[in-house]
Structure 1
Amino acid sequence: MNELILVGIGTGNPEHLTLQAVRELNAADLILIPRKGEDKADLADLRRMICAQVLTNPAVRLVEFDMPRRDASTPDYRQGVDSWHNAVANAWSEAIGASLPDGGKVALLVWGDPALYDSSLRIAARLTPKPIVRSIPGIMSPNMLAAAHGVALNEIGAPFLVTTGRQLRDHGWPQGVDTVVVMLDGECSFRHLPADGIVVYWGAYVGMPEQIVLTGPLVQMGPRIVAARAAARAKHGWIMDIYLLRRRGNADAGGA
């Protein structure tokens, strides 16, 4: 039976890998590198670059495979995601079976952390035969965003909520919190909120040389973020961004 190691790599900076992550990558027989099309070739390049910098074991093999794309036209979102996860699991199985027919240890480099808004663990559960699965934590993008702006995620003794752009767009500002961290937002869903009284802390490629950060009142910064995001995506062919929204009056609050 194969052992599958999901290695959190943070936001793509090799310096942010933990010592545990480096050790696990060097102990693998095989590292899978997903290809997501020419428009996202940099993502495969980044994974290869990370491996080139941290691998000291020449026996570790890197194998690339084509990553299936989710059909965004499927009316039922969950059904579409389920079908996509099945396709990804099949792609993993085919790559592993072809490269390690007698079994071994396989590693996948997971953006951020496998436990936060990533589906690698759920996809791994669909594999047949089922491998032993281990998750190696990585630096989460909310931590990188807070560090890039020099702010605390939480206010003193107060909760904050991590959600998605889809949830923000469909349901508005979540009740019971003054601070919201928004991930997986390809549509700048903050545009669906009344902007007055909200401060935004936005970052793209956080922790990487390409990092872009913008902050200020949402009513002023919203259009600038939309433009900066579009320009960055056109330049690089992909973008990973995240932002924190905080109701004004609490924008400068920190604490433990």
Structure 2
Amino acid sequence: MKTVWLIGIGPGDPDALTLAAVKAIGRMDVFFLLEKAGEGRDSLIRFREEILARHAGDRPYRIARADTPARDRAAADYAGAVEDWRRRRTDVLAGLIDEDMADGESAGVLVWGDPTLYDGTLQSLNELMATGDRPDLAVEVLPGITSVQALTARHRLPLNRVGESITITTGRQIEAVADDAGAVTNSVVMLDTRDAYARLASDPGLDIYWGADVGAPDEVLLSGPLPETAPRIAETLRERRARRGWVMDSYILRRRRPGPTGAG
């Protein structure tokens, strides 16, 4: 039996690992390190290596590296491009399992945040098991602290408001409803490479709670009415992208209503 462990390692703070994650890291025989090409790649890999140096202990382990396939972000068929990317990424994982694991071994995949929130690794492994070609493959999932939890904690903001639902969505989806006045009430926005918040910046009823690289030593937090705060966020993003090549950011868009901010 080969067992692949998806281990949530939080949004960027080495101290944000759960005790279960620390224990699991100390039991792994091999770690799969996958990262996409581009600026910032090396620092993301170094963070994972720092996690291993802290928590793997004295037990010998191996590291198997592979490149995550690039996705065509300009494709007219968005869903088709994502599906093609997932298939190619599944093939990469299959190669690591077949070539870099022996029977009876455990492999760890260190996943940013939580393996069940906007990460495709679990879906790829489920697809591999569903084919029946690897009856000796098992998968275990250890949840991690998400960027959503880190963001609300750093802003000292309850995620929920009384009598109201919460939407966790993407920048692409926010753009899709930007012209529908009042469509956004209480939304957590992730994976926004499109700066979609700017499409709503003329709405005087929205507040934004934004964070970049939350948990890292150089995290940035900005909050306030969206029309006033959006230009500050845009300038911060320009500076950090120019300096570092990448930014991990997320934010909450919340429509203002009577009562203490965020409390409902």
- CA distance in 1 between partners of 2:218 and 2:33 (Å): 22
SS state at 1:156 partner? coil
In structure 1, give the amino acid aligned to 2:126.
Answer: A
Correspondences of 1:1-256 after superposition (within 5 Å): 1-39=1-39, 40-102=41-103, 104-127=105-128, 128-129=133-134, 131-172=137-178, 178-193=185-200, 194-249=202-257, 252-255=260-263
In structure 2, give the amino acid aligned to 1:197.
Answer: G
- 1:174 Cα deviation after fit: 9.2
SS state at 2:127 partner? coil
- CA distance in 2 between partners of 1:175 and 1:3 (Å): 47
- CA distance in 2 between partners of 1:34 and 1:157 (Å): 41
Residues 165, 188 of structure 1: 8 Å contact kept: yes
**Cα-to-partner distance string for 1:160-191 (whole Å, 9 max, x where unaligned):** 21111110001236977621111110111012
- 1:210 Cα deviation after fit: 1.8
In structure 1, give the amino acid aligned to 2:230.
Answer: G
RMSD between aligned residues? 2.1
- 1:93 Cα deviation after fit: 1.9
In structure 1, give the amino acid aligned to 2:220.
Answer: I
- 1:158 Cα deviation after fit: 2.4
Residues 199, 251 of structure 1: 8 Å contact kept: no
Residues 5, 134 of structure 1: 8 Å contact kept: yes
- 1:103 Cα deviation after fit: 5.1
The TM-score with structure 2 as length reference comes to: 0.90
In structure 1, give the amino acid aligned to 2:216.
Answer: M
In structure 2, give the amino acid aligned to 1:123.
Answer: S
- 1:36 Cα deviation after fit: 2.1
- CA distance in 2 between partners of 1:125 and 1:254 (Å): 38
Q: Bigger shift: 176-185 or 19-28?
A: 176-185
- 1:90 Cα deviation after fit: 1.2
**Cα-to-partner distance string for 1:51-85 (whole Å, 9 max, x where unaligned):** 11111143222222111111223321111111111
Cα gap change, 1:251/1:34 in structure 2, threshold over 3 Å: closer, same or farther? farther
Cα gap change, 1:250/1:198 in structure 2, threshold over 3 Å: closer, same or farther? farther
SS state at 1:27 partner? coil
SS state at 1:215 partner? strand
In the alignment, structure 2 segments of 5+ residues that lack a partner are none
Cα gap change, 1:174/1:91 in structure 2, threshold over 3 Å: closer, same or farther? farther
- 1:255 Cα deviation after fit: 4.3
- CA distance in 1 between partners of 2:258 and 2:80 (Å): 39
SS state at 1:31 partner? strand
- 1:151 Cα deviation after fit: 1.2
- CA distance in 2 between partners of 1:167 and 1:58 (Å): 45
- CA distance in 1 between partners of 2:11 and 2:260 (Å): 26
In the alignment, structure 1 segments of 5+ residues that lack a partner are none
The TM-score with structure 1 as length reference comes to: 0.92
- CA distance in 2 between partners of 1:119 and 1:99 (Å): 21
Matched residue pairs, number?
256
- CA distance in 2 between partners of 1:136 and 1:80 (Å): 29
